Amino acid sequence: MEKEIKKSSLSVSENGIEKKISPKRLEVLKTYKIYIGGQFPRTESGRYYVAVNAAGKQLANVCLSSRKDFRDAVVSARNAFAGWSERAAFNRGQILYRMAEMLEGRKIQFTDELMQQDVPKAKAEKEVNLAIDRLIYYAGWCDKYQQVFSAVNPVATSHFNFSVPEPTGVVSIIAPQEDGLLGLISVVAPVIAGGNTCIVLASGSKPLCAVTFAEVINSSDVPGGVVNILTGKVSELSSWFVSHMDVNATIYCEKDSTVQKMMQDKAALNVKRVIFYDKINWNTDEGQSPYLIMDTQEIKTTWHPIEHIAGSGGGY
Amino acid sequence: MIDGYFSLYQTRSVNERKFSNFGKTEIGMQKTGFIPAIPDFTLTPRIDQVGAEERASRFTKRSIKKESKVNGLKLVLNMIDLTTLEGKDTEGKVKQLCYKAMHLHDALPGLPTVAAVCVYPTMVRTAKKALLDSGIKVASVATAFPSGQASKEVKIKDTKYAVDNGADEVDMVISRGKFHAGEYNYVYDEIAEIKEACGEARLKVILETSDLITFDKIRRASDIAMYAGADFIKTATGKVQPPSSMPVALIMLEAIRDFYYKTGRMVGMKPAGGISKAKAALHYLVMVKEVLGEAWLNNHWFRFGASSLANDVLMQIMKEKTGVYQCASYFSVD
């Protein structure tokens, strides 16, 4: 078959029949993949769902993650935990700040994605700005919440007794369904600011920003495995998120009381913390607080023997 | 995949011209009642590397689920040589390992024990005492493990020391330097002499496949080891990177198969180093079943040399039993 393209007229000659081709460029569409251990794999299940907007327009094929993707993500998160939690708190703050910088540079892309998902322009711009500010907020708290929530405790023995918060470990998070970007960042930032690692299930209806945010994380010096982002169905994955023995806490942001009950039941298996953020409006200042960091912290109290203590006169 | 299969085995007279010093060897061989026709090892089959890799990758694509998976995992547990070969090993560490060998996960009754505990010769007595009448064997590395760079006398002494202290099995390393230099006679005689020093103990011959580099040489070393009297051939010490791979194990399994067809004698196989996941272990079982058959699917003929594999297998068994993914913190340290 003879085929030739003439540059000047932008027409194609196929079997002698002249065809005009449109000068419009064919857009290159992004494959929305999941984010595990610093890599962007497709779901191991090979399944997809179509993300659509309110008008029913197809936005993207999005991975329908399986329990095995979650399993792999937990392995990555567990492996990353030691390095991340032992990192200097100040350095964690620098990295969160870096995430904000990267997000700032890609504002337009995120605004555009939110608008594709039916968010009005003004609201989308506000959401992106708020998301950046929220990262800065938690970047600041990284090396400060310990001072606020630690204590030296008065005891009646010759001990120096003090309590400090420590990260609880691997946290599984089911992100808010609304606010695809801001909701995700509002729940992830306090968890990683406190030295935990996490696996987060992005909003099922608004998943685009979550995958793009993974690219921001990937270029912000966040070690692989600290944040793992899956896309898929809450109904399919929620029980795995809360039953995994190697997960230390689960965060759930919806009001579904049946799911909440199920989570509390299954979490008992290894005495996980279960945290419900079903009343927080992420678009206001109540969506950010050092107490949200403390939700995934454990208090460790140390009894350190000392020679003398005021008043006791006792020697050790 | 394998060329020259039928041209491999030579008559004894041809070999006697090429290999002149088999005197000691034959005495060793007669002890086990086995006198093989020794082939010219320079003529062992050449391996098609691409073919071997492709074939090995197919074994990883079987779907083994539910009950057969649990049975497979229990079989894996029962084939493990639970290993500690560190410079920092203490008697306490060995005792703890022996306890683990006997009590893999007491929360789950009905589990098999591992096949053996594998330690350095100086730890054999401790392990033997700790294992009592559990039926778990004590394997000891010997012959200047892992480098094998010592004189033959030292290696024989090392072996005898392990056996005298009660080792049921001896894991020796071949002299890779001599092998590369083409001194196959030396390598062969050394294995035969160590076999003799082992007495009743079963001998596993470690080829250290990463040191041998090419697939052709791995096949050749396998043949030398088996003809010299190895009860097992073993891939690696676990001390050299990269660890052994499935294609390498496939070549060794095929060597065992060919040896069995030729001589009627079964030789065991022990992959070691780098197998730390239950799934990988199941792939190996598939490979053994499909290359050698079910006769080899027990711990008399097949072993895994591993330390962290046991816990991963236990975690998978618990996952099947409880339905939830497990956490390493709930299993004993290894």
User: For position B31, what pLDDT does the model report?
Assistant: 43
Structural domain includes residue A276: yes
Nearest chain B Cα distance for residue A150, angstroms: 27
B324/A244 CB distance under 8 A: yes
- Nearest CB among B324, B328, B329 relative to A269 is that of B324
pLDDT digits (tens, 9 = 90+) for B134-179: 999 999 999 999 999 999 999 999 999 999 999 999 999 999 999 9
Structural domain includes residue A2: no
Chain Cα centroid distance, residue A150: 26
Main-chain dihedrals φ then ψ at residue A118, nearest 5 degrees: 75, 15
User: For position B15, what pLDDT does the model report?
Assistant: 36
A244/B327 CB distance under 8 A: yes
Chain B residues whose beta carbon lies within 8 Å of the beta carbon of residue A74: 325
Residue of B324, B326, B329, B331 to mutate when probing chain A, most A C-beta within 10 A: B324
A312 CB within 8 Å of a chain B CB: no
B324/A71 CB distance under 8 A: no
B330 CB within 8 Å of a chain A CB: yes
pLDDT over 90 at B334, yes or no = no
User: How far is the CA of B54 from the CAs of B50, B51, B273, in angstroms?
Assistant: 6, 5, 21
Nearest-10 crossing angle of helices A121-141, A107-116: 130
Greater confidence (B334 vs B238) lies with B238
User: For position B35, what pLDDT does the model report?
Assistant: 60
Q: Which of B158, B171, B231, B258 is catalytic?
A: B171
User: For position B241, what pLDDT does the model report?
Assistant: 87
A246/B328 CB distance under 8 A: yes
Task: Look up the ipTM and state it.
Answer: 0.83
User: For position B154, what pLDDT does the model report?
Assistant: 96
A71 CB within 8 Å of a chain B CB: yes
DSSP string, B45-75: PPB-HHHHHHHHHHHTT----HHHHHHHHHH
User: For position A13, what pLDDT does the model report?
Assistant: 59
Phi-psi region of B84 (alpha: psi -120 to 50; beta: other; left: phi over 0): beta
A85 CB within 8 Å of a chain B CB: no
pLDDT over 50 at B210, yes or no = yes
Closest by Cα among A315, A61, A84, A54 to A198: A84
Q: Searching chain A, which residue's CA lies closest to the CA of residue B328?
A: A246
User: For position A49, what pLDDT does the model report?
Assistant: 94
pLDDT band at B5 (very low <50, low <70, confident <90, very high): very low
User: For position A26, what pLDDT does the model report?
Assistant: 87
Residues 6+ apart with CB under 8 A from B225: B174, B191, B205, B207, B233
- Please tell me the distance from the alpha carbon of residue B73 to that of residue B281, in angstroms, as a whole number: 8
Q: Searching chain A, which residue's CA lies closest to the CA of residue B323?
A: A243
User: For position A270, what pLDDT does the model report?
Assistant: 93
Structural domain includes residue A284: yes
For residue A290, cis peptide bond before it (omega within 30 degrees of 0): no
B327/A269 CB distance under 8 A: no
Q: What is the rounded average pLDDT for all residues in chain B?
A: 89
pLDDT over 60 at B54, yes or no = yes
pLDDT digits (tens, 9 = 90+) for B37-48: 788 998 899 999
Closest by Cα among B146, B117, B155 to B240: B146
Q: Give A39's DSSP letter.
A: B
Closest by Cα among B152, B256, B274, B162 to B208: B274
Residue span of the structural domain in which A199 resides:
48-305
- Nearest CB among A240, A245, A266 relative to B326 is that of A245
User: For position A20, what pLDDT does the model report?
Assistant: 66
pLDDT over 60 at B326, yes or no = yes
Under CATH, which number does the domain B12-319 receive?
A: 3.20.20.70
Structural domain includes residue A36: no
Nearest chain A Cα distance for residue B316, angstroms: 12
- Please tell me the distance from the alpha carbon of residue B203 to that of residue B230, in angstroms, as a whole number: 6
Chain A residues whose beta carbon lies within 8 Å of the beta carbon of residue B330: 245
User: For position B68, what pLDDT does the model report?
Assistant: 93
Could you tell me if A77 and A225 are in contact, meaning their C-beta atoms sit under 8 angstroms apart? yes
Main-chain dihedrals φ then ψ at residue B200, nearest 5 degrees: -80, -20
B277 is catalytic: no
Q: Searching chain B, which residue's CA lies closest to the CA of residue A243?
A: B324
A272 CB within 8 Å of a chain B CB: no
Chain B residues whose beta carbon lies within 8 Å of the beta carbon of residue A245: 324-327, 330
Structural domain includes residue A35: no
User: For position B17, what pLDDT does the model report?
Assistant: 33
Chain A residues whose beta carbon lies within 8 Å of the beta carbon of residue B61: none
Residue of A69, A172, A245 to mutate when probing chain B, most B C-beta within 10 A: A245
Q: Which of B168, B204, B234, B334 is catalytic?
A: B234
Locate the DSSP E strands across chain B. Answer: 80-83, 116-119, 137-141, 169-173, 202-206, 232-234, 268-270, 304-306
pLDDT over 90 at B4, yes or no = no
Length of chain A: 316
User: For position B244, what pLDDT does the model report?
Assistant: 84
B328 CB within 8 Å of a chain A CB: yes
Structural domain includes residue A22: no
Chain B residues whose beta carbon lies within 8 Å of the beta carbon of residue A270: 327
A246/B326 CB distance under 8 A: yes
Nearest chain A Cα distance for residue B209, angstroms: 30
Greater confidence (A217 vs B133) lies with A217
Structural domain includes residue A91: yes
pLDDT digits (tens, 9 = 90+) for B97-118: 999 999 999 999 999 999 999 9
Q: Give B228's DSSP letter.
A: T
Count of the separate structural domains present in chain A: 1
Closest by Cα among B209, B220, B198, B90 to B143: B198
Chain B residues whose beta carbon lies within 8 Å of the beta carbon of residue A71: 325
A168 CB within 8 Å of a chain B CB: no
Structural domain includes residue A8: no
User: For position A314, what pLDDT does the model report?
Assistant: 44
Q: What is the domain-level CATH number for residue A90? A: 3.40.605.10
Q: Which of B128, B195, B217, B270 is catalytic?
A: B270
Nearest chain A Cα distance for residue B333, angstroms: 16
Chain B residues whose beta carbon lies within 8 Å of the beta carbon of residue A246: 325-329
**What is the residue-level pLDDT of chain A in tens, covering all 316 positions?**
455 545 544 555 556 666 666 678 988 888 899 999 999 999 999 999 999 999 999 999 999 999 999 999 999 999 999 999 999 999 999 999 999 999 999 999 999 999 999 999 999 999 999 999 999 999 999 999 999 999 999 998 888 999 999 999 999 999 999 889 999 999 999 999 999 999 999 999 999 999 999 999 999 999 999 999 999 999 999 999 999 999 999 999 999 999 999 999 999 999 999 999 999 999 999 999 999 999 999 999 999 998 765 555 544 3
Residue of B61, B327, B330 to mutate when probing chain A, most A C-beta within 10 A: B327
Q: Searching chain B, which residue's CA lies closest to the CA of residue A170?
A: B327
User: How far is the CA of B257 from the CAs of A75, A238, B199, B319, in angstroms?
Assistant: 38, 49, 25, 35
Chain Cα centroid distance, residue B109: 29
- What token pair was written down for A285? 């200042």
pLDDT digits (tens, 9 = 90+) for B235-287: 999 999 888 899 999 999 999 999 999 999 999 999 998 899 999 999 999 99
Closest by Cα among B36, B56, B48, B52 to B259: B36
Chain B residues whose beta carbon lies within 8 Å of the beta carbon of residue A266: 324
Q: How do the domains of chain B map onto residue ranges?
A: 12-319
B234 is catalytic: yes
- Please tell me the distance from the alpha carbon of residue A84 to that of residue A225, in angstroms, as a whole number: 9
A206 CB within 8 Å of a chain B CB: no
- Please tell me the distance from the alpha carbon of residue A201 to that of residue A232, in angstroms, as a whole number: 7
pLDDT band at B25 (very low <50, low <70, confident <90, very high): very low
User: For position B11, what pLDDT does the model report?
Assistant: 30
Could you tell me if B118 and B303 are in contact, meaning their C-beta atoms sit under 8 angstroms apart? no
User: How far is the CA of A174 from the CAs of A145, A261, A264, A266, B91, in angstroms?
Assistant: 24, 15, 14, 15, 48
B231 is catalytic: no
Residue of A68, A78, A246 to mutate when probing chain B, most B C-beta within 10 A: A246
CB pairs under 8 A between A and B: 22
pLDDT band at B307 (very low <50, low <70, confident <90, very high): confident
